[in-house]
Structure 1
Amino acid sequence: MKITIGGAKIDKYSFDEVVERIVEHSLSGGLPEYVVTPNAQHILTLQKDTYFREIYDKAFLSVPDGVPLLWAAKILKTPLKGRVNGTDLFERLSCVAAEKGLRVFLLGGRPGAADKASEILRARHPNIKIVGTYCPAYGFESKPTELALINSKIQAAAPHILFVGLGAPKQEYWIYNNYQKLGVPISVGIGVSFELVAGMVQRAPLWMQKRGLEWLFRLIVEPKRLWQRYVIGNPRFIWLIFRQRLAVSRLNWRSF
């Protein structure tokens, strides 16, 4: 079952249910699919980006990465089962992949991030099968030779799960344009998760994560890069949810 937040359809699965569905599909060798992890910024992006909206509409799973989506769901009286954070998902799937013998590939991140994350994951899970890592050169999306190289590396490695850390919406664009030809059962866009696992970017304390303040921590750590996203974006997201709630209330009133 799905709910709608700002035009995006979000799956009402718990974290464990999401992991289970991804692992089952990966083990079954089913047709290639992909997973998106929406947050408030993603919801705002798809308001004006019809291609991004199309990508979201066709996703195998769309899971709530940000706590603001949980708040929005409550305001809209369609509560979700909980947060499915992209970094937590990356780490849990890596753990289960080691247990089940699933092959994984790490694509993207800052230079050295995927390799460092791979090193840390191998230390945690000696049986994990990380069959490749690759950090594309800046501007790779406009270079046919680089795009072909990326695809050839992934196809040769034949992973069950492909983790893509290119940032949104670039990672979603790339996944959507390539997932079928790659033949990987599951591709997941996970943003800065390689950097977080590698310790290259500091993650918010657990108490801030639980209270939905991870955005504030990131703003404090990287103000120049993120101020516009949060200082301008957060009020826009609140207004979007308020308008949706108002529209639902009016519809209910008319039907009454």
Structure 2
Amino acid sequence: MPQPTAERSPQTFTLFGLEFSTLSEQDIATEVASTLRTPAQGVGQIITPNIQHISLMRHNPALRQACQHAALLTCDGFPLYYYAKWRGKPTHGRVTGRGIVAELVAQPARLTHHRIFMVLDSARTVDIARDWAARHGLAEQLDCAVPAMGFDKRPAEMQALAEQIARHGTTLLLMGVGAPRSEIFVDQYRASLPPCWALCIGQGLLIALGCVPKPPRLVEYFNIEWLWRIILEPRRMVGRYACSAVGFMLAVFKDLLHHG
């Protein structure tokens, strides 16, 4: 049975004024699967920033605050990882939300003592998640919700979602509705949420459940997942990546200017 987790301070490094963890995907998945948060610890939010996060934080104080309050931050996007490596930070590789959740979903026996709640994008995804849980003896432990589009702009709906998560007795919260909605929701409503691990992993959860195609190995090897996503969703992703790339470069310039 998972044991209550004691707060610890894994090695971190500072980038963009934030503290990033050096734990691997396997380390984080093991920590999440094998430990329970205590009431005193509350929500342990895990955020895996990519260039979109860094770009948005320039004008989104709520997202920056969420990252500052997170229990763990990791370098997900490859430009972020390479920038950290270039700066001489003690990072040992990319640590992606997709990788962390894949580790968890691939070994469901480790989750039998968790109460799992998934916030998902559609009823179809809920069906897939419930089928996965049923096949692995986790049906009783799982509950799901599909918030309406724009729920993050309506406080009453966010409060209702937080209360639903709390009623389930959630110890493992998987947020699959994308950035920055997931990160901001968990941070702003942590007082209404139960003690739990909260993974803000967006599309990573959909890939782990088989709702979205996994990138081919060559795509992963050459770190061109961004190109893979553009191929899958060109209209939605081209503009997003262009804006994020510009915002990320501006954030890098500011980081170098202020921190040398």
State if a TM-score over 0.5 links the two structures: yes
In structure 2, C-alpha distance between the alignment counterparts of 1:88 and 1:130, rounded to whole Å? 22
- Aligned partner of 1:22 in structure 2 is 32
- Aligned partner of 1:6 in structure 2 is 16
In structure 2, C-alpha distance between the alignment counterparts of 1:149 and 1:232, rounded to whole Å? 33
- Runs of 4+ deviating beyond 6 Å: none
CA-CA distance at 1:220 after TM superposition: 1.6
Uncovered stretches (5+) of structure 2, i.e. residues with no partner: 1-10
Q: Report the 3-state secondary structure (helix = DSSP H, G, I; strand = E; otherwise coil) of the residue aligned with 2:211.
A: coil
CA pair 87-130 structure 1, distance change in 2 beyond 3 A: farther
| Residues 200-246 of structure 1: per-residue CA shift (max 9 Å, x gap) | 32232122123210011101211111112223422542454356457
Q: Report the 3-state secondary structure (helix = DSSP H, G, I; strand = E; otherwise coil) of the residue aligned with 1:215.
A: helix
Give the conservation status (yes or no) of the 8 Å contact 1:34–1:179.
no
Q: Percent identity?
A: 25
Give the conservation status (yes or no) of the 8 Å contact 1:90–1:190.
yes
- Aligned partner of 1:117 in structure 2 is 129
| Residues 38-66 of structure 1: per-residue CA shift (max 9 Å, x gap) | 11110111122222111111111112222
Q: Report the 3-state secondary structure (helix = DSSP H, G, I; strand = E; otherwise coil) of the residue aligned with 2:170.
A: coil
| Residues 10-30 of structure 1: per-residue CA shift (max 9 Å, x gap) | 111112222233335426664
| Residues 93-135 of structure 1: per-residue CA shift (max 9 Å, x gap) | 2455532522211113234213313323543x33575420111
Q: 2:212 aligns with which of 183, 201, 209?
A: 201
- Aligned partner of 2:4 in structure 1 is none
User: Is the counterpart of residue 53 in structure 1 residue 68 in structure 2?
Assistant: no
CA pair 28-147 structure 1, distance change in 2 beyond 3 A: closer
In structure 2, C-alpha distance between the alignment counterparts of 1:50 and 1:28, rounded to whole Å? 28
Q: Report the 3-state secondary structure (helix = DSSP H, G, I; strand = E; otherwise coil) of the residue aligned with 2:212.
A: coil
User: What is the TM-score when the length of structure 1 is the normalising length?
Assistant: 0.84
- Aligned partner of 1:73 in structure 2 is 84
CA pair 128-244 structure 1, distance change in 2 beyond 3 A: same
Q: Give the residue type in structure 2 aligned to 1:112.
A: R
User: What is the TM-score when the length of structure 2 is the normalising length?
Assistant: 0.83
RMSD: 2.6
User: Is the counterpart of residue 140 in structure 1 residue 151 in structure 2?
Assistant: yes
In structure 1, C-alpha distance between the alignment counterparts of 2:37 and 2:155, rounded to whole Å? 32
- Aligned partner of 1:166 in structure 2 is 177
- Aligned partner of 1:241 in structure 2 is 252
- Aligned partner of 1:63 in structure 2 is 74
Structure number with the higher helix fraction is 1
CA-CA distance at 1:7 after TM superposition: 3.2
CA pair 151-54 structure 1, distance change in 2 beyond 3 A: closer
Give the conservation status (yes or no) of the 8 Å contact 1:165–1:191.
yes
In structure 1, C-alpha distance between the alignment counterparts of 2:178 and 2:137, rounded to whole Å? 28
In structure 1, C-alpha distance between the alignment counterparts of 2:69 and 2:126, rounded to whole Å? 27
Q: Report the 3-state secondary structure (helix = DSSP H, G, I; strand = E; otherwise coil) of the residue aligned with 1:68.
A: helix
- Aligned partner of 2:6 in structure 1 is none
